[in-house]
Amino acid sequence: MKLQMVGCSHHTASVEVRERLAFSAEQAAKALERWQQQFPHAEAVLLSTCNRTELYTAAVETPPSHHEVAEFLASFHNIPLSEIFDDLFEQSGEGAVRHLFTVAASLDSMVVGEGQIIAQVKQAYELACARRSVGPITHDVFQAALRVAKRVTAETTIHQRRVSIASVAVADFARQIFERFDNKDVLVIGAGETAEETLRYLVDEGAQRLTVVNRNFERAQEVAARWSATPRPWADLPGLMAEADLVVSATGASEPIFTLDDFRRIEPRRFQRTLCVLDLAMPRDFDPAIGECIGVYLYSIDDLRETCEANRRERQREWPAAETIIDEEAIRFIADMRHRASAPTIQRLRATCDELKSAEVQRLLNRLTAADERDREEIAMAFDRLVNKILHLPMTTLRDHAEQPHHTGLIDALKRLFQLRD
């Protein structure tokens, strides 16, 4: 199976590296177009979230190497390869299959059981389909990954009472600063999925004075209307920052939207009032230096790690059931892929045997001039049965060993023994 994944995640790379390698939806589309130009015979699906950037590639023959994929990622973002190469990891073949299944089932997430990753995997696959960068291998493995995620959701409790980055940020971090939210001015920056999910948690926690600001004011109005919040134009951001008690930021900006200088300008108006900033964006929306200012509690995604690890431990008891599903589906998928990979060889073997059989049957019938039509049919059927019996054992062996690593070796041996050409 010529499937490979090269990328980084919160397990292997710091937030600084991850934000340098992150792709917006627009960038991902451009990257897939560039990939097709650079590697026209290789499939590709690009998964980029706040916690991971992973490029899945496949090819019928030899896919681009680990180094070529790493160079592609670095080149797209204009980053020297030497600065990020050691933070990238690789999975290939069965390892790539199991990794994708684990990611889609949210067992590899910072918050185990969070629901966003399933949608993000689906969106990455659909974008690749729209850009026509998928092929038979990536199509099958991503379809299978989505089925795995659905099984884990339906057959385990790992997704019950889902805990996402947004809920951890509000319930475990903002709650450390404020005992109540109903009397606090809450500013939500951004109007995407994470921002809206955070609004839901804030409303559940009793927040009432909610404001939504977004570069696209119409989008801010749509989101604000759903959560009884007040939409404000992007130009009002400095003034809103001066008044806010709690800020949740989750934009798709490629650079900080609020620098230390920006904060210094509005700091006198705050009179050192407590400000809690939950920066859920990747790359980060707020300059980390703002967290050093008096009265400011600034948390980024990586600051949630300890709480997320606690969540992981609590859900640990559900892991065996989820991992069993992943193992079952991975074995089934890999066996199916090997069956399909071996099908052309089996077809060539049968065609070769049929040609030899037909030639021998015809040679025999040419000599048996006295044989009537019924005798000729019996002779032909006897040769058919003989060929089927001879092929039965090797075909059964190939089928029974499709799940084993040495299956490819059996196919190669079959080609050499019978001199079957590609």
**pLDDT value of position 239:** 96
* Mean pLDDT (whole number) for 291-319: 83
Q: Is 50 noted as a catalytic residue in this protein?
A: yes
| Better pLDDT: 255 or 354 | 255
**pLDDT value of position 258:** 97
| Better pLDDT: 234 or 158 | 234
**pLDDT value of position 305:** 75
The model's confidence at residue 301, banded by pLDDT at 50, 70 and 90, is confident
**pLDDT value of position 352:** 78
Question: Is residue 403 predicted with pLDDT exceeding 60?
Answer: no
Q: Which domains does the chain have, with CATH numbers?
A: 3-159 (3.30.460.30), 165-305 (3.40.50.720), 346-381+404-422 (no CATH)
**pLDDT value of position 420:** 72
| Better pLDDT: 119 or 306 | 119
3-class SS letters over the chain: CCEEEEEEECCCCCHHHHHHHCCCHHHHHHHHHHHHHHCCCCEEEEEECCCEEEEEEECCCCCCCHHHHHHHHHHHCCCCHHHCHHHCEEEECHHHHHHHHHHHCCCCCCCCCCCHHHHHHHHHHHHHHHCCCCCHHHHHHHHHHHHHHHHHHHHCCCCCCCCCHHHHHHHHHHHHHCCCCCCCEEEEECCCHHHHHHHHHHHHCCCCEEEEECCCHHHHHHHHHHCCCEEECHHHHHHHHHHCCEEEECCCCCCCCECHHHHHHHHHHHCCCCEEEEECCCCCCECHHHHHCCCEEEEEHHHHHHHHHHHHHHCHHHHHHHHHHHHHHHHHHHHHHHHHHHHHHHHHHHHHHHHHHHHHHHHHHHHCCCCCHHHHHHHHHHHHHHHHHHHHHHHHHHHHCCCCCCHHHHHHHHHHHHCCCC
pTM of the model: 0.66
**pLDDT value of position 341:** 64
The model's confidence at residue 382, banded by pLDDT at 50, 70 and 90, is confident
The model's confidence at residue 163, banded by pLDDT at 50, 70 and 90, is low
Catalytic residue among 50, 129, 308, 353: 50
**pLDDT value of position 406:** 57
- What is the overall mean pLDDT for the chain? 88
Question: Is residue 162 predicted with pLDDT exceeding 60?
Answer: no
| Percentage of residues of the chain with pLDDT beyond 70 | 93
